[in-house]
Structure 1
């Protein structure tokens, strides 16, 4: 009887140990490791939207626009497609596959800037600008093509183009006046104030500016080659009113040190040149 009871107890103990062993999963550590790896993989695989990355050129609009006009790949990256394009009141959009590289004014020896007053000329180097427009002013057709650039998240982007007629006014419009001034020497003589104020570098001192006057025949000896077909302009936020009594046309060389500035004033409804500045290197 004792042997039977002892046998039953041994059997029960054996069954109990066998059950405990059967509950142990020998692959649990590997399973946990795989699950962990899959979890990390899923986390990393979540797509993240990326946009243009700011570059050193974005710090200054002038640096950016030169890079934009010179580098085709960079131009595509910094243009919002499909690009809104307005021909007068007619809207359309340009798909990226139809976009043609735009050199803007970088193929020219110089570009032009328009201002209403001298104080506004200091805004050119402002690094805090968020919105700038680049313009082509077509003198013969009296049209303006405007490129709208915005800086978002540190990156300058072209967001739209607008082509429209120049607004007319009762007084002589500056663009109409300048087209004739640049192409008609007799008209030019009539519209130059005498004597003409002339500002230039002092030939005896590289760090000094000399202010003097020019006679009419001297103007033709010193004057720069004037644009006759179109004017460029970069609107950094300066005033450019049609009814302004003064206009400043700056001619700036691209990498060649050229710098001329023409100062115009409207008197009796007519424009005339009253000051010429040549301070190029």
Structure 2
């Protein structure tokens, strides 16, 4: 750590206006060239299905009075919104990696991508916790459920989740981009994410790495300690797919393993794609609502 600090301080002394980075080059995922077309098609299909699946859940919860009157389904509908946008922030950049198009992203674009990625991702984390807490109350406190969890409280908790996500990303983005970047500008990753960008900083990143470790690490690991997650298999499945890769990447800030990109695909691409399937197939009320919507359209 000391040698790295000295090296970064030495780099800082040589910064000039002529060497300030104005854009970054996203190197993307590593893949065999002969699989380029197949991977393009796979990620394109995943993106389309992710958008359609989450949009269907969102519209179903909104249109069916039986669903949007219950906190559990309100939370499910709200979760679909960041799922759709998170996929839109990440997957198009991955798809671009399989084309001859330029891999450059302006400095401002990198800031925006990192901001929305962590804003939506952290909000998802808080929503998962709320959904698990709701299921815990419904299963373990059924007689008091309507008192402990109602529509008004659910709305307040959802608003707090979005505010908490905003606070989290404001701290992370500010700490990341207040550092000087004087080159190189090649990000060895498929998006602008904190660990990959920090490796290019021309200053000591010890504080950043510590804040990232504490902030993301505590949030991720503490969720597994909550008894609420043990009451619902679907939540446990989603949270495992989402949090385990996060822990693998963010609790190892100095890692340069080529596996990091492949692992990150799970929580950035696979989880938003699987959420509609997991929650729909395991939720009889949502399936019944989908059947009613289909029957209504057919009847028309």
TM-score w.r.t. the length of structure 2 is 0.22
Structure richer in helix, relative to its length: 2
Q: Which one has more relative contact order, counting CA pairs under 8 Å at least 6 apart?
A: 2
TM-score w.r.t. the length of structure 1 is 0.23
